[in-house]
A and B are shown apart, each in its own frame.
Chain A
Amino acid sequence: MRNLLAFFLKNYFFFLFLMLEALCFTLIFNNSYYQRSSIIRSTNRITGNLNQVYADITEYLYLKKGNELLAEENVSLHSMIKVDTNLSCRPSLIQDTVFHYICAKVISNSVNRRNNYFMINKGTVHGIEKDMGVISTEGIAGIIVGVSENFSTAMSLLHKDARISGKIKKNNQMVSISWGGRNFRTGNIEDIPTHIQLYPGDTIITSGHSHIFPEGIHIGITEQFIERQDQLFNTGTLWFSTDFSSLYYVYVIRNNFREELLQHNMTPIYE
């Protein structure tokens, strides 16, 4: 026994190293994005305030771009109303009873890592919960993975675990969208059945089959279609419609029927 103890003491450096590494690995593997919300919640309070200060300082740099994006969105919304007033009823002016939108500002963001997250300045006080979708004025942006009182952390679409259920706008064919890393402007289209031909320029939108995102939110424009011989599915690449490097104002989407949908044991398509 004494020998064993002496052995440990003699090599304490190595064993301490093993212990600390074991601790790190426990942290890494117990914190895939589903279980990590509790830790993110405690971190949010500290880092949230610091990030808020940082965002307040740098806000002026993005005002112009932010205003342009919001103006463009206003234009597209105006044009939608105009079309609908020609009809006898105004379907788009009836309030959406399924999805409720909460506006928030991005206070911290990254695009250059393999797994990216961004932080927004709204939290539980404003009605934000885990697993809500986040969209920008241009298209899909991410999903909330952790909330504290005043801040929330969202997993960006630029994440290795992000997989969005989308569809090809012209023929409603389901595909799935993921991010291959490195270039934050392009993503991968997967699971295209062989009988479907995709052309550069085809729009990919959300399918609405998950309870997280409503149908018809822009994901991106097809860049390239890759036919794979002797495989069941073809693949492709797309340009994301959202410029993740300049996320500024975003909308968090609350699904009012989420609890009810979950009772049907629908697994979220967003893995």
Chain B
Amino acid sequence: MNSPVLKNIIRFALLVLIQVFLLNKIQFSGYINPYFYVLFILSLPFGIRKWFLLVLGFLLGISIDYFSGTLGIHAAATVFMAFCRPGIIRLLSVKDDLEPDIEPSIRNFGFLWYFTYSGSLVFLHHLVLFYLEIFRFSEFFSTFLMVILSSIFSLVFILIAQYLFYRKK
């Protein structure tokens, strides 16, 4: 469990399973579809190669797509999110030299930093995802409402997970 590679592989599998067999099965409401699996991209260490980040985003998205029967939609959104991640981190970080092994988490950076970081990325992910899925201008505003409400829910799940699994030692 100490190896970061093994840890991330387990996290990947676990998040896909939780998303597909738990969250996709629960009917919250027509407007609210939380996508918790993006936590994987959020939690990758800072030192990760940029190209590898994109490839992992693609793999994660396509695995969710396989189970949901929505080929390409989740992959497109997750790749976009992975693409935005380095930029968001650069915008938010105070010091320039982030240690490459460290993972973004509440424990390491505090609540406010993590909230802004995950909130903006989750919002970007959901924005691409819902507009691609619905793909209609006639439902523009209701889609936007869906994006906002679902982002809030996903974010709540992510923050809860942070407090559950990344407690201060």
Interface on A for B, CB 8 Å cutoff?
A: 12-13, 16-17, 20-21, 23-28, 31, 36, 39-40, 43, 46-47, 50, 54, 110-115, 117, 153, 160, 181-184, 245
**Known contacts A21-B80, A112-B28: does B71 contact A36 (CB below 8 Å)?**
yes
Instruction: Judge whether B30 and A112 touch: CB under 8 Å.
Output: yes
- Are A13 and B66 in contact (CB-based, < 8 A)? no
A28-B72 in contact (CB<8A): yes
Do residues A25 and B69 form an inter-chain contact, with CB atoms below 8 A? no
The A-contacting residues of B in range 1-59, CB under 8 angstroms, are 21, 24-25, 27-33, 50-51, 54-55, 57-58
**18 residue pairs bridging A and B, Cβ less than 8 Å apart:** A13-B86, A16-B54, A20-B75, A20-B79, A27-B71, A40-B69, A43-B69, A46-B66, A47-B67, A50-B67, A54-B21, A112-B28, A112-B32, A112-B33, A113-B33, A160-B134, A182-B30, A245-B27
* A227-B24 Cα distance, complex, nearest whole Å: 37
Query: Which residues on the B side are within 8 Å of A39 (C-beta)?
Result: 71
Least Cβ–Cβ distance between B135 and chain A, in angstroms: 8
Complex interface residues of chain B between 77 and 118 (CB less than 8 A to chain A): 79-80, 83, 86
| Residues of chain B lying within 8 A (CB to CB) of residue A13 | 50-51, 54, 83, 86
A28 touches B29 (CB 8 A): no
Task: Using A27-B71, A31-B71, A111-B27 as known contacts, say yes or no to A181 and B76 having CB atoms under 8 A apart.
Answer: no
Residue pair B142, A12 in contact (C-beta under 8 Å): no
Cα distance A39–B70 in the bound complex, in angstroms: 11
| Interface residue range, chain B | 35 or more
Residue numbers in B under 8 Å from A36 (CB-CB): 71
Q: Is the CB of A160 within 8 A of B136?
A: yes
Q: How far is the CB of A33 from chain B (nearest CB, A)?
A: 9
What are the residues of chain B within 8 A of A184 when measuring CB–CB? 27, 30
Nearest residue (CB) in B for A17 is B83
Question: In the complex, what residue of chain B is closest to A40 when comparing beta carbons?
Answer: B69
Check if B136 sits within 8 Å of A27, measured CB to CB. no
Measured in the bound complex, the distance between the Cα atoms of B73 and A27 in whole Å is: 8
What does DSSP make chain B's interface, helix, strand, loop or mixed?
helix
Q: How many A-B residue pairs have CB under 8 A?
A: 87
Instruction: Kindly state the separation between the CA atoms of A102 and B36 in the bound complex, as whole angstroms.
Output: 37
Q: Please, which residues of chain B bring their CB within 8 A of the CB of A26?
A: 72
C-alpha gap A24/B62 in the complex (Å): 9
Q: In the complex, which residues of chain B have a beta carbon less than 8 angstroms from the beta carbon of A115?
A: 70, 133
| Mask of B112-137 contacts with A, CB within 8 angstroms, 1/0 | 00000000000000000000111110
Complex Cα gap A184–B21 (Å): 20
Q: How far is the CB of A11 from chain B (nearest CB, A)?
A: 11
How far apart sit A184 and B30, CA to CA, in the bound complex (Å)?
A: 8
Contacts of B139 in A (CB 8 A): 181
Q: In the bound complex, what is the Cα–Cα distance between A245 and B76 (angstroms)?
A: 28
Which of A27, A40, A112, A113 sits near B72, CB closer than 8 Å?
A27
Q: List, in ascending order, chain B residues with CB within 8 A of A113's CB.
A: 33, 68, 70, 133
Q: In the complex, which residue of chain A has the Cβ closest to the Cβ of B53?
A: A13
B132 to chain A: closest residue by CB: A28
Given A21-B79, A181-B142, the answer on whether A117 and B69 have CB atoms closer than 8 Å is yes
Minimum C-beta distance from B104 to chain A (A): 19
Q: Using Cβ atoms and an 8 Å threshold, which residues of chain B touch A12? A: 51
B138, closest chain A residue (CB): A180
Contact, CB under 8 Å: B69 / A182: no
Select A20's contact among B21, B25, B54, beta carbons within 8 Å. Answer: B54
Does A16 contact B51, Cβ atoms closer than 8 Å?
yes
Complex Cα gap A31–B132 (Å): 13
Do B72 and A24 touch (CB < 8 A)? Answer: yes
Contacts A46-B66, A181-B139; is A114 near B134 (CB within 8 Å)? Answer: yes
A18 nearest CB neighbor, chain B only? B83
Contact (Cβ within 8 A) B71 A153: no
CB-based contact B134/A31 at 8 Å: no
Q: Known: A182-B30, A183-B30, A184-B30. Contact between A114 and B71, CB under 8 A?
A: no
